[in-house]
Amino acid sequence: MFHKLVYFFLQAWGYFVFKRRVRIFGMFTVGNKKNIIIGDNCVINHGVFLLGRNRIEIGANVVLSARCMLLDGTFDLDHYFDESTEDYKYLNATITVEDGVWLGAGSIILPNVRIGKNSVVGAGSVVTRDVPPFSIVAGNPARLLRTITPMTIRD
C-alpha cells in the first residue's frame, strides 16, 4: 500500500511540474521549470537534474536514467578569471533531446547539444557535441561507438 501511495505522489508531482503525464520513478530536481519542455510518454528516474537556465527541449518517449544531468548553462571561461569584475558571466544555450532517446545513468549533457532521434547515451558519458540520430555514444567526452539500424515495422 505504501509503495502505491509513493508512486501516486511521484506521478502527481511530475504532472504538477511539467503540466503533462510523465512517468516518475524517484525524486528529481528541476532548476527552472518554465524553461523546460517535455514530450509525451517520458520517463524520469531517481536523481535526474534539469537546470533550465536557458531552454531544455525533451521529445516524446525519452528515458532519463538515474542521476543524469542536463545543464543548459555554465560559466563563461573567457571571463571567469577576470578579476576586474565581480560578476560571473554565463554561457546559456539550448539542449534538445529528440524523440526516443535513452540517456544512461549518470550521463551529463552540456549546453548547445542536440541528441538525435532514437540515440543512446552510455552511462557516465559527458556529451559536449551533437549526437546524430540512430547513434550510440559513450565516454568522456562522448564519442560515437556505432550507429543503429532503424527497424522497419512489417505487417
pLDDT at 79: 66
66 in a structural domain: yes
Q: Does the structure show a pLDDT above 90 at 86?
A: no
When the pLDDT of each residue in the chain is averaged and rounded to a whole number, the result is: 90
155 in a structural domain: no
120 in a structural domain: yes
Joined grid coordinates for residue 61: 518517449
Closest CA to 110 of 77, 149, 65, 73: 73
Q: Does the structure show a pLDDT above 70 at 83?
A: no
Joined grid coordinates for residue 69: 544531468
24 in a structural domain: yes
Sorting pLDDT into bands at 50, 70 and 90, what band is 67?
very high
Kindly report, residue by residue over 24-64, the tens digit of the pLDDT: 999 999 999 999 999 999 999 999 999 999 999 999 999 99
153 in a structural domain: no
113 in a structural domain: yes
Radius of gyration of the chain (CA): 17
11 in a structural domain: yes
154 in a structural domain: no
Q: In this structure, what CATH number is given to the domain that contains residue 89?
A: 2.160.10.10
Strand 120-121 vs strand 102-103: parallel, antiparallel, or unpaired? parallel
User: Whole-prediction pTM value?
Assistant: 0.87
Count of domains forming the chain? 1
The residue with greater pLDDT, 82 or 12, is 12
Provide the domain limits for residue 111: 2-147
Q: What is the DSSP annotation of 60-87?
A: TT-EE-TT-EE--EEE-HHHHT-TT-SS
Q: Does the structure show a pLDDT above 70 at 130?
A: yes
